[in-house]
Structure 1
Amino acid sequence: MHAHSLPSVSSAPTPTHCPYCALQCGMTLTPDASAEGVAVTGRAEFPVNRGALCGKGQSAAAVLSSGARLTTPLIRSAAGDLEPATWEAALDAIAGGLARTRDDHGADACAIFGGGGLTNEKAYALGKFARTVLRTSQIDYNGRFCMSSAAAAGQKAFGLDRGLPFPLEDIPRTGCVILVGSNLAETMPPALRYLTELKERGGKLIVIDPRRTRTADQADLHLAPRPGTDLALALGMLHLVVAEGRVDEEYVRDRTRGWETARAAVMAHWPEYVERVTGVPLPQLREAVRLFTEPEHAMVLTARGPEQQSKGTDTVGAWINLALATGRPGRPLSGYGCLTGQGNGQGGREHGQKADQLPGYRKLTDPAARAHVAGVWGVDPDSLPGPGRSAYELLDALGGDIRSLLLMGSNPVVSAPRAAHVEERLRSLDFLAVADVVLSETAELADVVLPVMQWAEETGTTTSLEGRVLLRRRALAPPPGVRSDLDVLRDLTTRLAPELEKGFPTDPEEVFDELRRASAGGPADYAGISYPRLARDEALHWPCPGTDHPGTPRLFLDRFETQDGRARFVPVAHRPAAEEPDTEYPLYLTTGRVVAQYQSGAQTRRVAELNKAAPGPFVELHPRLAARLGIAEGDAVTVTSRRGAAEAPARITATIRPDTVFMPFHWPGRGRANTLTNPALDPTSRMPEFKVCAVRLARATAG
């Protein structure tokens, strides 16, 4: 077996990055005598957060404490309990479970589910492991639930998807920002300063959200459409742009294709119809168009609100069409961007853990891409499987076609749509193995659980929402008994395909250097990025094809990444959500986050100060709805959809539409919001419709 010795850790302060959202804020870890072993401070010199950290970032070291996490492998006993085990026994059990499934049912009966928090090195190695060791097509990751609709729309329009094609520092210098379905004050607090600075410089902010959030409070204009009608809203605004003669005809002629077809589709969405569909008054629509088109520079930024819909790709496409018709993308201080959510949601899909992609953002169906990557991996291109199922489809197939699952860095029991069904599917597997930092709700169901290192205990790269590639540095040793995901994949390869063992090094820099070669020449080209360069320069944005290349902070200034260099208008039309309110389920449910918790809460719910700030789920509803149903502040209420019921205290506020209720999704158990959500999928991105479903509401009955 292999030694797992680790180099000594410096006692000096270590510059690194936050483990949470895609801002990847700069922070410094300084050794101290606390239980965590380090103190966290913001790094003023890092341009994204300039020293600011949210509560999650400030308390990030709390999860490093051995009391908050897994420190020994666990194997389920014959009696049904998870009991401590040796690493060798746990790895043997995982390899045996996967091998039995492969031998009895074929390679595609084994699946892998990854996470948007894994470093680039881990995401790359996980995709390589699936396709060369297991030879399964069944791999996807929870980033599919993050920004896949924006990615699909960006590919269609621009030929390339990168969350922000410009750095955050451009936002305060533009003239107007339309922020669609994002609550930065709660989800990325250090980024709110960019909107504050925008307003201080005289720029205008339009926020589109069915709730008047803390972010919407900052807006010059807040539009509150019915959930699921963002597509109609964008089309109505573009209709007014055309009708009022505000199209940038020269830009459309010189830099785009497809305008006439898209224009014809838009003209069917006349403003009075859009007002009726969205509930947004026509004067507000006209004012939004005026604020957006009058400045020389303007931006549209989308987030999960418009993206997590069964028509998310078309919805984002409509906002891109608005930006294109007014001449914004590919011009300085203007454009369209997506606010990626997860820490490495961008890099996580660029390098191979998404069902249809190879490293470098290459398409798995492209023979040239397969040949290039297979050459780097030293395998026959024909041996690489084709595309597999998307995230929800993969989870839905557990216990059927898929009999064994290896899961790394995700907690679908809480985070997946129709979560009770997903939990049932996980329980039906022949074999489930989970590698994680903590014993999450999903890990509690596993046959084998592996305790793995986390952000401050290992070196690796992430890619922020700006396409900025960053080096997280190892600052302290992990607790005894904890190993890296890279160790796990190498040791499983030793057991399952020993001839491939050399292709799974455990040194992150060695893995990254191979990733560079695999990505070379691809859309997300990292070939010119190296650990030494990243140690010197935190301003390297992909594509960066050569070691003397400065990186590309701003895309599309000369041409778009299409064959002819022109952006594409994609004609779209409004259609309802997959599930609209009716007499039985008369209300809309929309879901989202709160500032003190993160994603499924698996880590943040173990931090005392965060739990004090956000101790549990709640149901937000309007006073008129509360009065009609006889619900008072703090009453336990039951929210019921066609998929199940959840219960949480009422929070009554006039900042939400009277026809809509809101629940945060960070908690398991009776308050699990994703018990309710609809897994209806966007036909292109395969994004589930987290943001819209029909529910009914009632005071909870005792007992």
Structure 2
Amino acid sequence: MEIYRHACPRNCFSTCGMLSYIEDGKLVKVSGDAKHGYNQGRLCAKGYAYTQYVYNPYRLKHPIRQTPRGSGNWKRITWEEAYDCIADKILELNERYGSNLASGYNKFSGNIGLLHYAVEGMFNSIGPHTKPVGNPCLITGEQAMRKSFGQMNRMMPEKMAEMNAIVIWGANPAVTNVHQMKFILQARQKGAKLIVIDPIFTRTAATADIFIQINPGTDRWLALGVAKLLIESNMYDEEFVRNQTVNWEEFHQYVTEQVDLHEVCRETGISLDVLCELLSIYSMPKPCATWIGFGIQRNENGGQNISAINTLAMLGCQSGQENRCVYYSHSGIDDFPVNLLNHEGPVHPIVQHSREIDINNFAENASKLVEPPLKFLWIALRNPLSQDQDFQAWESLMKELELIVTVDLFMTKTAEMSDLVLPAASHFEEMDVNVSYWHHWLSINEKAISPYYEAKSDLQIARELMEKLNERFPGFSNFPSEREPIDWIREELTPSVKKLYSIESIDDLLESPRLRGEEGKNLSSSAFKFRLFSEENTDTSTYSMNREKTDVEESYPFQLLTPQSLLKIHSQYEAMPWLNQGAEQAVVELSEYAAEKRGILEGDKVELFNPNGKIAAIARISRFLPQKVILVNQAGKNPINRLIAHKPQENPGKSSMNFYDSSVNIRKWCETNG
């Protein structure tokens, strides 16, 4: 039996090191890599189910074409035919419009390996085109962190085990980051307190010493209220705020004059006694960790929420900066040249730059493009008809496009609406290198088995398609098709990267994952200047949950929260029998209050609806849910995101998707409900 080293490439905190066991060329087992210091030889349920993922009967085997689009009339074609079709369209659009702006892609994080930037590299290699910018998941928080700290923190998550208190603010690691729970448990075994702040009584909250159930979207109020108590009690580090912050006087005046504790309690739904309990945590002279979850910033005021929490965390812990530990995410990829992403294409004589579209409003904005309109769209590493929002805009855009190509392992809802679907390789069938946005380990991903039927990696597709284009039109693309995956990986391992990870060559990574050096030192720099919460660009002083309700809020009075589930990531893993043994019908959780108001009983079939659409689900009544919150997990055959619409932002690409700003109504299911 042969054993190979891998990194789980899903968009997940853990980016786990794993081992594959190969017998007669087949994957027979996977396990955690004991040499990986974060997951330490363990995997989550999704990781252990990878044998079913690779050899799943629903996995795509060959390139297929659908005529007409959306008909379900699929025909198997060869890769050569697929490449011919795509090349024909790209070249025809180039001739029609005089550039490649009518060709574009929509790609995100279905596989976060560095070589999957081959999609961007491929399009860069043909010159200016149409591309998405931004990040639907965490960029609002990243912007807020950079504004507070000047850069992204690099705190090691393993060091959470050394804390005397851990405040988890809007995160649910027991579901979305299971390996972090062991470090939290280690801290608690040494006497640390665990405090969870969340609108939902999560699995993590169930393990906490203190659970604080906050009204959704009011986190900044709570943080500013406790900060006011710190200042009034003189429990903050005065030397720190005067010497290492840039706006202390402004913040002090704002909190003193504008933050009213009675208003804080009314807005958050939290009593003054609980605020005082948090005060005792943040005034401890010992290390305290604050973990800010991504859900905190998935609303219109997300940046202010995170800025306020950062401020509270930095004001507390009087014993020094090294004890002010704020966790969100980090930009480990910034250490690397990411050559595929940054590949420079040919210069166009007239069009100087590619055309950029905010990924959070991609479909709506793409439909408005003129001179030229977008006509060809390549979709890879995502399933927008499950994980995006405003499906009506996507459906409208798809009617306008002349060719849609989707690359995936399974027939997703997006693939169903495409012209061509190309089968993608799994990470066991390709070579890659991976870093995490949470921990600090660098991992190699070896190719362990031959591709499933005719599946190919994004890099292999890019190499072959660009070679086809150049056969048709010499010099059309400058993509270096001759380079193998190992060549790209070696180029990522620059001298600075090797020094940072204490490696001499790729062979060291084949022996074991490596930990990044110099971690977590940015906050102790003498040049560090922290920016406290600012009233600028925030409506904190005027917003009130008790304001007069609008007509829309009266018609759709419940706030919709849509967190990730334990056994799926959006639509990924839906075809795994080990992970899908329950009923296929979606489940909606509602409060006892909502159930009584609508006459709904446990197990009733119900319908959620708003102007964006409607979905059917089975009701589950929760005594722990806030009165006007409705919860539906991501994933499912009828995606909950159908009910979500994202408001356009002033600065495209600079904010996350506002998944948690949606309101809905609920009623018992009736065949005549529209």
Residue 81 of structure 2 is aligned with which of 82, 89, 105?
A: 89
Partner of 1:18: 8
Partner of 1:38: 28
Partner of 1:571: 534
Contact 1:93-1:448 within 8 A present in 2 as well: no
Residue range with higher mean Cα deviation, 255-264 or 468-477: 255-264
Residue range with higher mean Cα deviation, 309-318 or 213-222: 309-318
**1: CA distance between counterparts of 2:186 and 2:336?**
32
Q: Secondary structure at the match of 2:126?
A: helix
Q: Which runs of 5+ in 2 are unaligned?
A: none
Q: Secondary structure at the match of 1:107?
A: coil
Partner of 1:598: 569
Partner of 1:204: 193
**2: CA distance between counterparts of 1:351 and 1:678?**
35
Partner of 2:229: 240
Residue 161 of structure 1 is aligned with which of 133, 140, 152?
A: 152
Residue 270 of structure 2 is aligned with which of 271, 274, 280?
A: 280
Residue 624 of structure 1 is aligned with which of 593, 602, 616?
A: 593
1:472 pairs with 2:463: no
Q: Identity of aligned pairs, percent?
A: 23
Q: Deviations over 1:517-546 (max 9, x none)?
A: 6x979xx999988523433452333xxxxx
Q: Secondary structure at the match of 1:648?
A: strand
Change (3 A) 1:478 1:468: same
Contact 2:569-2:634 within 8 A present in 1 as well: no
Q: Secondary structure at the match of 2:647?
A: strand
1:189 pairs with 2:178: yes
The Cα of 1:328 is off from its aligned counterpart by 8.6
Change (3 A) 1:460 1:630: same
**1: CA distance between counterparts of 2:504 and 2:140?**
28
**2: CA distance between counterparts of 1:648 and 1:200?**
41
Pairwise mapping of residues 126-165 of structure 1 onto structure 2 (< 5 A)?
A: 126-140=119-133, 144-161=135-152, 165=154
Change (3 A) 1:297 1:102: farther
- Code of the aligned partner of 2:353: P
**1: CA distance between counterparts of 2:128 and 2:435?**
27
Q: Deviations over 1:453-487 (max 9, x none)?
A: 11111111121122432212222111231211101
**1: CA distance between counterparts of 2:391 and 2:337?**
27
The Cα of 1:135 is off from its aligned counterpart by 1.6
Change (3 A) 1:577 1:28: farther
Partner of 2:209: 220
1:589 pairs with 2:560: yes
Partner of 1:108: 101
Q: Secondary structure at the match of 2:555?
A: coil
Partner of 1:512: 489
**1: CA distance between counterparts of 2:559 and 2:515?**
43
The Cα of 1:167 is off from its aligned counterpart by 1.7
Q: Deviations over 1:82-117 (max 9, x none)?
A: 311110111121222233334434433322222213
1:269 pairs with 2:236: no
Residue 177 of structure 1 is aligned with which of 150, 166, 178?
A: 166
Partner of 2:507: 532
Q: Secondary structure at the match of 1:667?
A: coil
Q: Secondary structure at the match of 2:14?
A: coil
Residue 117 of structure 1 is aligned with which of 89, 110, 119?
A: 110
- Code of the aligned partner of 2:432: G
Q: Secondary structure at the match of 1:612?
A: coil
TM-score of the superposed pair, with normalisation by structure 1: 0.84
Residue 640 of structure 2 is aligned with which of 662, 673, 680?
A: 673
1:390 pairs with 2:358: yes
**1: CA distance between counterparts of 2:529 and 2:587?**
47
- Code of the aligned partner of 1:430: E
Pairwise mapping of residues 361-372 of structure 1 onto structure 2 (< 5 A)?
A: none
Change (3 A) 1:641 1:330: farther
1:556 pairs with 2:519: no
- Code of the aligned partner of 1:460: D
Coordinate RMSD, CA, aligned? 3.3
Residue 305 of structure 1 is aligned with which of 280, 295, 301?
A: 295
- Code of the aligned partner of 1:658: Q
Aligned residues: 647
1:634 pairs with 2:570: no
Residue range with higher mean Cα deviation, 277-286 or 385-394: 385-394
**1: CA distance between counterparts of 2:441 and 2:130?**
29
**2: CA distance between counterparts of 1:122 and 1:313?**
31
**1: CA distance between counterparts of 2:300 and 2:207?**
29
1:481 pairs with 2:454: yes
Q: Secondary structure at the match of 1:503?
A: coil
Q: Deviations over 1:433-467 (max 9, x none)?
A: 11111111111111111112111111111211224
- Code of the aligned partner of 1:695: V
**2: CA distance between counterparts of 1:527 and 1:504?**
31
TM-score of the superposed pair, with normalisation by structure 2: 0.88
- Code of the aligned partner of 2:616: E
Residue 700 of structure 1 is aligned with which of 655, 669, 673?
A: 669
1:318 pairs with 2:308: yes
Residue 57 of structure 2 is aligned with which of 67, 73, 80?
A: 67
